[in-house]
Structures are given as C-alpha cells and as structure tokens.
Structure 1
Amino acid sequence: MTQEGDESVIRRDRFSGGPARSFLSSLEADKRIFEADLAVDRAHVVMLAECDIIEDAVAGEILTALDAIEVEGHAALPEGEDVHEAIETAVIEQIGPDGGKMHTARSRNDEVATCIRYRLREDVFEALEATLTLREALCAVAAEGAETVMPGYTHLQPAQPITVAHWACSYESAVRRDTARLLEAYARINQSPLGGAAFAGTTFPIDRERTAELLGFESVIENSMDASSSRDFLLETTQALSTLATTLSGLAEDVIIFANRGFVSLSDDYSSTSSIMPQKKNPDTLELVRAVAGDAAAGVQGLTTTLKGLPRAYNRDLQRATPHAWETVDAVSEATRVAAGAVATADWNEDVLAAEAGAGFSTATGVADLLAANGLPFRTAHELVASAAERGAERANGETVSHAAERGADYDALEAAAGEVLGEGLEAYVDPDAVEAALSPAESVASRDSLGGPAPDTVAESLESARAELAADEETVAAVGADLEVAHEVLRAEVSGYV
C-alpha cells in the first residue's frame, strides 16, 4: 500500500465514528454532483498519467472502476462523508490500494469546487434555454397583437392605451437582459479550479490547463486559494436567477390581472378549477410562478449570509451554501418554462380589450399633447383636460365605471372645460377633428411612434430587433450546448485510451 493509501485508511479509521457523522455527511445531497465528480475524477486521472505521476496501467484500473461505479449509480456507493470520499472508497474496494492514487495532487476542496462548476454549467444552460423559449413566445404574442389595442396602467389605474404587442415586447426586452446576465454568469462559472488542491497548490508537476481542457472549461482560475475557496460564481448566478424570477413574477401578475378582467383566457393546461365551485378557472400555475420570486430571493439571502465573513480558504460552511443555488436554479428554470407555455397558449379577447382601452379617460395625455403642440402651455392643457375628466365623471354619476370612463372622454366635456379654463372654445387652438382623433384609443396608439412606443409600425421595428437579438442569443446558447457535448466526447475519448 502506498503511503498516501495508508494515510487515507488511517484518516477514515480515526474519524469514522461519533454522533456527528451524519450531521457532517453530504453524501445524500451530493447525488446532484455524482456524475460531475466522476467526470472530474476521470480528467484528473488522465492528467496524472499523462504527466507520469501515476502509471498508465494504474490509471486504466482506476478509470475502469469509475465506469463500473457510474453504472451501479449513486445508491450503490459505500458510506462516506461525501460523494468524493465514497467514490474513492469504492474504487479502492474494487482495485485495491492503488485506487488511492486517484487523489494524488488534489484535495476535496478543489475537487468539490470543480464539481459544482461542472454541474452548474449544465443547469444554467437549461435556464438559458428556458429564457429563449419565453422570449420566442413573447415575440409570437407581439406579432399577433401588433394592432390589438388594450388599456395600459400605472398604479393599476387606467393610464394610456397601448397594444398587446407593446406589452409583450416590454417583457421580451426584460427577459433578454436576464438572458445576458445568465450568459455573463456562465462565463465566470466556466473556469477550472482543479489543481488548486486544499488551497496552496501541490508539489506534483501537474498540468492544470490539461484538466481544464478535458472538462471543457474555458480557462483556469490561477490563484490556488481563490480557486478552492471562492463561491462568488454561485452568488452571481443565484442573483441573476433571482432577477429573472422577479421579471417572471411581474409577468405572471399582469396576466393574472388580465385574466381577472376578462382580457385574456389561459389554457386549461395552465389553469385549475375549484374543488367546490365548478364555475372557477384559476390561474394557479402563474400564481406559483409569481411566488418563485420569493424562493429565489431567499436563495440569494441564504447564500449571501452563509458566505458573509468567511475567512480564506475552505470552511465547512460552504457545504451549506451550494443547495441555495441548486434550489434556485431548479425553481426558476421550471417557472420560466411554465410562464412561456402559459403565454404561448393564452387567448386574448380583442373585443373586451378594445372596449376597455379608453377606460378612465386614458387618451387624456394625447389630448393634452395635441393642445400643447398647437401653442397652449402644457400645464394649462393639463389643467383643461383634468377639468374635462372631472366633468365627465360627474355626468356619469350612477353609471358603471366603464360607462363613466367613456362619458369622460368626449368632445363636449373638453369644450366645456375650455370655456372654464381658457374663456373660449377649443376651436381657437385646435381643429375639432384632430381632438376627436386624439380621443380615439386606436388613434392615440398610432400617434405614439417615437422610438420604443406602441404605434404598430414602431412595434414592428422593435419586434424585428427583438427577433434578431433572439436569433443571436439562440446561436450563442447553442454553441454553449455544443461545447458541453464536445467536452463529454473529448473526455470519453481520452479515457478510452486507458480502459
């Protein structure tokens, strides 16, 4: 038995008992990185053989044992403090003491850091794909709703008419930024800490760049202490996911409100009914999407609190840090996919939207702009239109809210307000036909053709840009996926040379 093997057995014997063993163990939680650990083991063993640190024959035996362990699965591992120790123990049980050579020139500290990054890459890739699916759904909604006028809100009060396309594009641009944040996080995840050892490097002549290459990492984290102990990549990723979850929460809330007001009908696949009230159709899936923002925020808070104030280098607290990231990426990725499906399959009620688009005198700003464009000071125009809105509301006393809104937005109310505020009629400032046009929700939308506005032609330009950005991001994410596949193939090819 090698000296290293002796020390391994001594360490396990000495620390094998005691009431805290189960508390210390992360073996069950490490199911998530079981396959990642096998990949890291394989890359490390191949590198050790290439650097003549272990014999090719021994490398072959270890790699063969790792293949068998993979087939048997995580459940077949022997008891251990963590998956890393359990796999090493399983290798030693299969091939004898030489199995302990697989741990030459590394520590569990750099090993686990590498495993986390290796697995997190896959998870973030899936989250990225989900954002692309959501953006594609939003673009489709925008294309269909370019001229579908709908009410727009501030403070949940009718504000200005917009279109379904304008609303959808607003969320597409937000999710586009979420995609960008995740891509940036991915780039910093995709760096190899392997070879940093416990934190101070190793005396063996290892090739860290080679293990990075075998595992498909873009680069090496040079400083060994930073490599083994830093978890900022986890925090950055969780924060990016939390921001995405916040975007999703707003989207979900909007659609829930729209469904409540009859603007949109969700597919039965994304709804549920009451156990007692048969008429109910509840937007349950979107309510859960909305709630995931709280889970993600909790993940950020939990992870931040765990990492805060930790000294260099490795501390066992880090064992409790990683689950925050796993739980967050799972929840947010699923919520993104659900939101995409709900949006893609929803039916927009164009008649109800058109009828409500002018609610609350929502074209008032357009009328005030028109008066200001014809020489009236904007503050005076604002006062005049506000007075007209009040008159309309008074005349609508006893009517429904929607009827009151319609009555508030007519020419007579504006004319009366002009006499009160200006002492003369509107004709002195503006063509009555222009005022009538400004009162129309559809005309109001069409007039707002500034960059990023809701006018159909403007939205068409925005949508064209959104689709171009989506295509570019799809290409980037596809390349990420291809790189991951190539990394798996390269490692498997190198391993086959020894097995």
Structure 2
Amino acid sequence: MHGEAGNNGGLIRGRFGEGMAEVMEQINASIGFDRRMAMQDIDGSIAHVTMLCEQDIVSTTDAEAIKEGLETIRGEISAGEFTYSVALEDIHMNIESRLGELIGAASGRLHTARSRNDQVATSFRLWVRDAHDRALQLVEQLILVLVEQAEQNTATFMPGYTHLQSAQPVSFGHHLMAYVEMFGRDHGRLRDSRLRLNESPLGAAALAGTSFPIDRERTAQLLGFSGPMHNSLDAVSDRDFAVEYLSAASLCMTHLSRLAEEIVLWMSPQYNFIELSDAWTTGSSIMPQKRNPDAAELVRGKTGRVHGSLFGLLTVMKALPLTFSKDMQEDKERTFDGADTFELCLKAMIGMIGDMKPRAAEMGAAAGAAHATATDLADWLTRELDMPFREAHHITGRLVRLADEHACTLAELSLVDMREVDARINEGVFSVLGVEESVTSRRSLGGTSPECVAREVEAWRSRVRAASSQ
C-alpha cells in the first residue's frame, strides 16, 4: 500500500524491470479497503499543493490545475464514477494516476517534498480523527437517551444486586445513571485521544524531512491540526492514534456489552423488567411465543470483534523498528472494522434504550423480595437504638431468619415477633422496611434517592451541552 517501492502501473519507476508476481500483487495491494480514505487523501493533497504554491515551489498555474483536478476526482468518487485499479496498489496512487489523466504532466508536481509515507500517515490520521468525531457524537446521544430514561424513572424501583443476588432496592433511574457515568468516561477518553492525535505528519516525507523550503505549520493549519509533529521518524511510523482510538472504543464496547447483558436479563420471563418493541427484537423459527433481544446479544457479541481489532493492531506494531515497514499496511482494516462495529453498536444501543419500556410493577415487586431492606433495618437499629453496627447486623440476621420461618417479609413481621429477638425495637422500625422508604432515604452524594438522581440528570445534561459546544 505505502512505502517507497513498487511498480504502481509505471507511476514509480527505477531499478525494477519486471512486473510483480500475481500473488505479490494481491498481497501488496490495499485499494480494496483503503479507498475509504479517498476524501482525506484529497484534503491532504490540496493542503500540500496550496503550501507548495505559497512557498513558490510550485507555480500558481500548476497548483490551480492540481486542485481543480483533485476536486473533479472528489466528485467522481462521490458519484460512484471513479475506476479503481488493483495494479496501482492503493488509493493514493489511484488518485495520482487519475490526476495525471485529467491534467497531464503538471500532476507530477503534487508529490514534490512529499512521500507516500507521510501522505498515508496524514490521510489515516485524518480518517481516525473523523472516526473520533463520529464516536463522540454517538456517545453523547447515548448519554442523553439514558438520561431521558433515568429522568422518567427516578421513582421506579428495582432490586440492586451484588453477585447477581438481590441486595438493596434502588431507583431504576439511578441504575441507568451508572451507565451514564461509564459512557461519560468513555467520552473523556475519546476526547483526550483526539487531542493527542491532532498533530500533522505531513512534510516528514519518507522519514528524514525534505530539503525543500516547505511550511509545515501552514499545512497543519489548513488541515485543522494543532501543529506539525516534531520528529520526522516518529511522524511516519506512529500509529498510537489508531491504537488509542481502538483502546477507547474497546473499553466503551465493554460498557455497551455490560448494558446489553442487563437488557437480555431484564427481558427474560424470570425478570420481566422491561419491554422492547418489534423494532429491536426478533422471533423464533419454531417457537411463536418468543421475542428475542437479538440486538442486545449482537452488541454483546461484537464486543469481541472490536477487542480483536485492538489486539491485532497492537500485535502488528509490537516489534517494528523505525520507521516504515510494510507490516503497517495491516493497520487500516483493523481500524476500519473496529470503527464500523463500534459505531453500529452505539447506534443500536441508542435505539434500544430509547425504545425500552420498564415494567414498574414487576420491578417494584422484585425490589422488595429477598429481604432487600435488611440493611435499612440494621441502619435503623444503629441510628435509633444506638447499637454498634455489628450488633445491629447480628440482630437483623436473626430477624431475617425469623421472617423466613414465618414465610413472610420483614415488614410483615409483627412488633411482638420482633421484640422476641430484641425488646428495644419499637413501632418506628416499620418506617424503614418498605422499598420506597429505603430508596428515598439514601440521599448521600451519589445515592439512589429520586432527588439525587434528578440532580445528576440535570448535571449530565449540562455536561453534554458543554461538550457539544466545544
């Protein structure tokens, strides 16, 4: 794909007198996938020739012809009228060849003070920057749809779990806001990664810079970079930006997978906590009663695909000496596939969360099961009867065992029964044994009470607005 050697249909001539073997042509060519960088390549070339003209390295006449030809090619690609050639290896040589057909010898001046190494590094970096921007917008949308659901369900109660065992009742809105926190961190990682990648390799040439009086600050400015990279060797060999993108995507996919798993559980008859419409579920070929959460399962499954893209790229890069090696052609497909999968899963989750309808009655009933307010009872004994917590914990355990013996809930035990365990217990105990009382009492910062959830909802809306305006 890139590098300084190759036949390239005659565009690059020199010591090579014979054509490539057929298999060599197949393994060497990348046009089948790197055509996705066509627009970024054109943008980089226009910036480069603009600078060359401003520096009096290329004439205004030739520069204008080159830019006009490149815009013609952009239109051909957009219209699906561009013919790609495997013999030309990659998108960069395909565009350069077509430019020669359109404007003649002047096209050859475009590659002045530039190598395919810095050309490819620039195009790929621009593509990954665009992928960051798409992902950031999608994560913001996901946060907002979660926030919307949380706001509608601040007072919808469900079991909170540890070890997947019912532990304490919580607000369903609070549960959803936990994922908002996760995706908020993902947003921050993507934003930080974008800041780090936003340096221009253009002008590093093959590996050592160039003797032409180029202005790298100018090309960086034209391409929206914060500035040029300061080491030509690093500029052409660095792929950290792709690794960082896939790292952030992989961790976000892990969060998507956790949420997808919960959707799968919540939709099962054993939970029956939520509904998803036909838009996000499928049926069974043999069991007509079923509604399968396939979209959630696919998000869960595709997580491994994005993780695989990350590990594949890390493996490609792990032992490469400076600067360019042909191994680095393997960076594109992994990054493209990882980005496609990541964006698709974000869109699917946005759709599912927006479509999701909680079953409040079923959630509430489950929230009170398995003596979920036992901790509230222990807290009450500690607070109201001035017991050491460990003593309160022991007494609560005895009350739980008594409720099991009576086949009832803690709230259904009589005061007489409770006083058989500890005579100090009074009527006030019943004020903390209900699910609603338990949830609303937890008003500490980060707690599950509806008022705490409502505050976090507003705080996150403000954060997303601020992020979107940057």
Alignment TM-score > 0.5, same fold: yes
**Amino acid in the other structure paired with 1:282:** N
Change in 2 beyond 3 A, CA 1:55/1:12: farther
Q: Is 1:431 equivalent to 2:431 in the alignment?
A: no
Change in 2 beyond 3 A, CA 1:296/1:15: farther
**Amino acid in the other structure paired with 1:35:** M
Q: Is 1:25 equivalent to 2:19 in the alignment?
A: no
For residue 95 of structure 1, report the CA deviation from its aligned partner. 3.0
The 5-angstrom pairing of residues 92-111 of structure 1 reads 92-111=100-119
The correspondence for 2:389, drawn from 378, 398, 413, is: 378
For residue 254 of structure 1, report the CA deviation from its aligned partner. 1.3
**Amino acid in the other structure paired with 2:58:** I
For residue 93 of structure 1, report the CA deviation from its aligned partner. 3.1
Secondary structure of 2:205's aligned partner:
coil
> How big is each residue's C-alpha offset from its partner over 1:110-132, in whole Å with a ceiling of 9 and x where there is no partner?
11110011112222111111111
Check the 8 A contact 2:272/2:362 in 1, yes or no.
yes
**Amino acid in the other structure paired with 1:268:** D
The count of aligned residue pairs is: 454
Change in 2 beyond 3 A, CA 1:320/1:12: farther
Distance in 1 (CA, whole Å) between partners of 2:301 and 2:102 is 48
The correspondence for 1:460, drawn from 444, 454, 460, is: 454
Change in 2 beyond 3 A, CA 1:12/1:367: farther
Check the 8 A contact 1:264/1:347 in 2, yes or no.
yes
The 5-angstrom pairing of residues 204-215 of structure 1 reads 204-215=212-223
My pick for the range that moved more, 195-204 or 119-128, is: 119-128
Distance in 2 (CA, whole Å) between partners of 1:165 and 1:281 is 25
**Amino acid in the other structure paired with 2:448:** P
Change in 2 beyond 3 A, CA 1:162/1:414: farther
Secondary structure of 1:161's aligned partner:
strand
Check the 8 A contact 1:51/1:207 in 2, yes or no.
yes
**Amino acid in the other structure paired with 2:109:** K
For residue 432 of structure 1, report the CA deviation from its aligned partner. 2.2
Q: Is 1:10 equivalent to 2:18 in the alignment?
A: no
Distance in 1 (CA, whole Å) between partners of 2:367 and 2:335 is 42
Check the 8 A contact 2:128/2:245 in 1, yes or no.
no
For residue 161 of structure 1, report the CA deviation from its aligned partner. 0.3
My pick for the range that moved more, 24-33 or 77-86, is: 77-86
For residue 211 of structure 1, report the CA deviation from its aligned partner. 0.9
Change in 2 beyond 3 A, CA 1:390/1:15: farther
Check the 8 A contact 1:388/1:413 in 2, yes or no.
no
Distance in 2 (CA, whole Å) between partners of 1:12 and 1:34 is 29
Residue aligning to 1:392: 403
For residue 416 of structure 1, report the CA deviation from its aligned partner. 4.8
> How big is each residue's C-alpha offset from its partner over 1:143-175, in whole Å with a ceiling of 9 and x where there is no partner?
111111111111111010001111111111111
Change in 2 beyond 3 A, CA 1:329/1:467: same
For residue 419 of structure 1, report the CA deviation from its aligned partner. 4.0
Check the 8 A contact 1:411/1:436 in 2, yes or no.
no
Q: Is 1:50 equivalent to 2:54 in the alignment?
A: yes
Q: Is 1:336 equivalent to 2:346 in the alignment?
A: yes
Residue aligning to 1:133: 141
Distance in 1 (CA, whole Å) between partners of 2:399 and 2:93 is 77
Secondary structure of 1:96's aligned partner:
helix
Q: Is 1:449 equivalent to 2:453 in the alignment?
A: no
Residue aligning to 2:3: none
> How big is each residue's C-alpha offset from its partner over 1:304-330, in whole Å with a ceiling of 9 and x where there is no partner?
111112111111111102222221111
Distance in 1 (CA, whole Å) between partners of 2:178 and 2:150 is 10
Distance in 1 (CA, whole Å) between partners of 2:266 and 2:320 is 47
Change in 2 beyond 3 A, CA 1:154/1:415: farther
Distance in 2 (CA, whole Å) between partners of 1:454 and 1:102 is 62
Residue aligning to 1:410: 411
Distance in 2 (CA, whole Å) between partners of 1:135 and 1:361 is 33
The correspondence for 2:325, drawn from 312, 315, 337, is: 315
> How big is each residue's C-alpha offset from its partner over 1:236-282, in whole Å with a ceiling of 9 and x where there is no partner?
11100111111111111112211111111012211111122111111
Secondary structure of 1:159's aligned partner:
strand
For residue 9 of structure 1, report the CA deviation from its aligned partner. 4.4
Q: Is 1:185 equivalent to 2:193 in the alignment?
A: yes
For residue 13 of structure 1, report the CA deviation from its aligned partner. 5.7
Q: Is 1:142 equivalent to 2:142 in the alignment?
A: no
Distance in 2 (CA, whole Å) between partners of 1:266 and 1:414 is 43
Distance in 2 (CA, whole Å) between partners of 1:379 and 1:414 is 22
Distance in 1 (CA, whole Å) between partners of 2:18 and 2:95 is 17
Residue aligning to 2:360: 350
Distance in 1 (CA, whole Å) between partners of 2:402 and 2:14 is 86
Residue aligning to 1:112: 120
The correspondence for 2:464, drawn from 460, 470, 493, is: 470
The correspondence for 1:66, drawn from 41, 64, 70, is: 70
My pick for the range that moved more, 453-462 or 411-420, is: 411-420
> How big is each residue's C-alpha offset from its partner over 1:33-63, in whole Å with a ceiling of 9 and x where there is no partner?
0111111111111111111111221222222
The correspondence for 1:157, drawn from 155, 160, 165, is: 165
Ranges in structure 2 where 5+ consecutive residues have no aligned partner? 1-7
Residue aligning to 1:271: 281
Check the 8 A contact 2:411/2:434 in 1, yes or no.
no
Provide the aligned C-alpha RMSD in A: 2.0
For residue 451 of structure 1, report the CA deviation from its aligned partner. 0.3
For residue 142 of structure 1, report the CA deviation from its aligned partner. 1.1
Percent identical pairs in the alignment equals: 37
Secondary structure of 2:106's aligned partner:
helix
Residue aligning to 1:484: none
Residue aligning to 1:235: 243
> How big is each residue's C-alpha offset from its partner over 1:73-111, in whole Å with a ceiling of 9 and x where there is no partner?
274134312111222222223333332211110111111
**Amino acid in the other structure paired with 1:381:** A
Residue aligning to 2:209: 201
For residue 357 of structure 1, report the CA deviation from its aligned partner. 1.0
Residue aligning to 2:43: 39
Check the 8 A contact 1:446/1:454 in 2, yes or no.
yes
Check the 8 A contact 1:198/1:228 in 2, yes or no.
yes
Residue aligning to 2:310: 300
**Amino acid in the other structure paired with 2:410:** A
Change in 2 beyond 3 A, CA 1:443/1:54: same
Secondary structure of 1:76's aligned partner:
coil
Distance in 2 (CA, whole Å) between partners of 1:390 and 1:24 is 71
The correspondence for 1:76, drawn from 83, 101, 107, is: 83
For residue 413 of structure 1, report the CA deviation from its aligned partner. 7.7
Check the 8 A contact 2:115/2:205 in 1, yes or no.
yes
Change in 2 beyond 3 A, CA 1:380/1:109: same
